Amino acid sequence: MKHLEGPNELFRAWLIHDIEEAIAFPSTCDDLAARTGIGPLRMTAAQSWLAVTIAGLGVRYACRRGTASKGRSRVYRGAVAGLELHVFTHLLASLLRRSYTAGVVTAPLVMLPGAWRARQELAALGRPLGLVDALRGIGFLMPLAIVSHGLARLVLPRARWLGARRHEPELGLTV
């Protein structure tokens, strides 16, 4: 059996996509915090990059499992299906916000084709993805995102967990 291309393509697509997310996430979080009044939603650029790095370890693990198992790994299959679904969360968020959100440019242009390629490869091997894979993907990627962002905030705390930013001097807190 030839070497699988899907796992590496999926990881490369995720990497390009998450570079956009890491760059733009602090701004998107600032806007969300301002709109909702929930200061802890804010994050620094360093926290954003650390969160993406931590999440990348999980995605890379899933892709390596995909290669090692020749596409049979449940975590890999979940990652493929989950990252496909992840694209639509970006589109929906931008639609609801009626403007750019972190990751919305590369989600349909890079992440979706990468996930589709991995999906097609699995189907060609006689292992098409199903609903269970999508549910596993949600079960893998949602906790991964929550944990990576939580750890980033714990390891690199901002001025205070209250979410003070330089453009909110009325809170009396400093960055």
Q: What is the pTM of this model?
A: 0.86
Helices (H), 6-161: 6-36, 45-68, 74-97, 106, 112-124, 131-155
Can you tell me the distance from the alpha carbon of 86 to that of 79, in angstroms, rounded to the nearest whole number? 10
Q: pLDDT 10s digit of each residue in the chain, 175 long?
A: 578 899 999 999 999 999 999 999 999 999 989 989 998 889 999 999 999 999 999 999 999 999 999 999 999 999 999 999 999 999 999 999 899 999 999 999 999 999 999 999 999 999 999 999 999 999 999 999 999 999 999 999 875 544 444 444 344 444 4
DSSP per position, 55-90? HHHHHHHHHHHHHHTTT--HHHHHHHHHHHHHHHHH
Domain ranges for the chain: 6-171
